[in-house]
Structure 1
Amino acid sequence: MSGKIHHYEVLVTWTGNQGTGTSDYRAYERSHEISTNGKPSIPGSSDPAFRGDPARWNPEEMLVASVSTCHQLWYLHLASVAKICVVAYEDRPVGEMAETPDGSGHFTSVTLHPRVTLAAGADAARAEALHHQAHEMCFIANSVNFTIDCVPETRHEA
């Protein structure tokens, strides 16, 4: 492997000890904080299906968000390089995870649904084609072993 090596360091602190630790499956919360220097903390938990707090981010949601935001950032970069003016971008990605009989599981797919709004006169066909290149460049997409599909919607600003 050649090229630069980047390092990412965070602190994950379990905050769910209710006084008796993990003495029983129901005796502790799955709450935790994800932090790093100079940034707001992210309140985390497990999925509510696994006794988690629905008001906190779970790892599965963060994985889906990571796939989506990586694609978005590459797409916006590629659009700017191609001189395609994007004025709005939103995505409603959907991840699918299969739980196995032993309680473990794995993601089987993530489908991105980016809605891109272009400046008047921008080439919509070229803009849509950039999604393929963004997928090829995305660090997260290149790091996972499940299918990532992209169903873009492209429109021009009114």
Structure 2
Amino acid sequence: MIQNHTFKAKVNWTINEGGSTRNPRNFSRNHSVTIANKAALLQMSAAKPFRGDDTLYNPEDLLLSALASCHMMSYLYVCAQNNIEVLSYTDTAEGDLEVKTTGSGSFKRVRLKPIVTIKDTTQKTLALSLHEKANSLCFIANSCNFPISHEALVFVG
């Protein structure tokens, strides 16, 4: 049975006093995102190369974060299915964005670099192999049209 779920986010942007969108080089990209029933709003902007505020989140940050977070949750799920006790999980994900001369662009690849610590040394090989299964379950990864690689390490703690 197929289940459908709808997610909603509210984006709010207002021109700064005295500002104008007539020149794409001169207006602020800063905006807020709120999600119903969530604690706080995200203050966002464009990425610095696109005239944004580098101290604020940008859509590219959030795409990469969503992918890394979804993979982690899928990985913990498949570890639980295989009775692997995970003690810690860290990922320093990287994504490569290609921008064309037309101004359009897309992510060309993402590298997830999870470092996982498990309890049982006999499960190390299985724990490493489960990243592939986790990727196949990850909703965000299944929605992407670029390659996602996993440079995973597993340690025993």
The residue number in structure 1 matching 2:86 is 86
Paired with 2:152 and 2:54, the residues of 1 have a C-alpha distance of 29
Runs of 4+ in structure 1 displaced over 3 angstroms?
none
Structure 1 residues 131-146: aligned runs within 5 Å = 131-146=131-146
Q: Give the deviation of 1:121 after TM superposition.
A: 3.6
Paired with 2:151 and 2:15, the residues of 1 have a C-alpha distance of 39
Residues 46 and 52 in structure 2, CA contact (< 8 A), matched pair in contact too: yes
Q: Percent of counterpart pairs with the same letter?
A: 33
Q: Give the TM-score normalised by the residue count of structure 1.
A: 0.93
1:83-131 CA distance string (max 9 Å, x none): 1000100100000011101111111000000000111445100101110
The unaligned stretches of length 5 or more in structure 2 are none
The residue number in structure 2 matching 1:5 is 4
Residues 75 and 134 in structure 1, CA contact (< 8 A), matched pair in contact too: yes
Give the root-mean-square deviation of aligned CA atoms.
Answer: 1.4
Q: Give the deviation of 1:15 after TM superposition.
A: 4.3
Q: Give the deviation of 1:19 after TM superposition.
A: 3.1
Structure 1 residues 8-157: aligned runs within 5 Å = 8-39=7-38, 40-121=40-121, 123-157=123-157
Corresponding pairs, count: 156
Residues 8 and 36 in structure 2, CA contact (< 8 A), matched pair in contact too: no
Residues 31 and 46 in structure 1, CA contact (< 8 A), matched pair in contact too: yes
Quickly say closer, same or farther: Cα 1:18–1:29, change in 2 above 3 A.
Answer: farther
Quickly say closer, same or farther: Cα 1:92–1:18, change in 2 above 3 A.
Answer: farther
Paired with 1:106 and 1:112, the residues of 2 have a C-alpha distance of 17
Q: Give the TM-score normalised by the residue count of structure 2.
A: 0.94
1:54-83 CA distance string (max 9 Å, x none): 111111111111111110000001111111
